[in-house]
Amino acid sequence: MAPSATRNLAALPVGRRERKRERTRREIYDAAMELFARRSYEAVTIDMICEAADVGRSTFFLHFPAKAALLDEFSRRMADDFSADLVNRARVSAGEILVALIQEIGIRIEAQRETILAMIREFTLTPEAIEHSRETERQLPDLIESIVRRGQQSGEFHSEIDPRLVTGAILSTAGSILCGWVFGRRRIAPQEVQRQFLEMIFRGLGGRVPNLNHKGRMNR
């Protein structure tokens, strides 16, 4: 962000400043995803993203410490959208909500598969992106943790396992699967991968996987 733009942003009231900051972050992400779809994640540079979003490099780094940190905005949007829909799931079990969230993550990744997988692979090798996510982008981990706590309070899940450990296990295992570190080049149906993943999670939590239909989606 240019110095004058920085001063103007600092002069705004807190509410307007935060809205402007969020709008700029979203515009950067949208511009980046459009470029990734047209070219490829690897072929797009930060300078190209800045030009498309009409921002300076300093503004980009104000929001994202590295290109791979754009993954945080993907997670933020998904967590925000899912959280907003939780009011419609008040009478649904924690287990069903957890399955629905995992399915939603899979659906959104599949919609932009090559881009998101490339971003995840680079993210795992970018310390500054990992640190930024750990410190400031907690929406998805906090959402998973809250669902696990809900299940523990209702008696669906064992209460002796720390929800933060469960959250870390879910995210790290999912990342390893997506990066190909678990199944590699082995041919295995996505539905089977999801089934085994859910079985591992729910057996560890002491619960049962909610009933899934033949497509691997949660029955309503």
Global model pTM greater than 0.75: yes
Domain 3-63 has CATH 1.10.3470: no
The H or E element that residue 70 is part of is none
Q: Which class is 69-205 in CATH?
A: mainly alpha
Residue spans per domain, the chain: 3-63, 69-205
Query: Average pLDDT by consecutive 10-residue portion of the chain (220 residues)?
Result: 49 74 96 97 98 97 96 94 81 92 91 93 93 90 95 94 95 89 79 91 91 46
Q: Which residues have CB under 8 Å from 98's CB, separation 6+?
A: 144, 147, 148, 151, 201
Spatial separation of the C-alpha atoms in residues 155 and 159, rounded to whole Å: 8
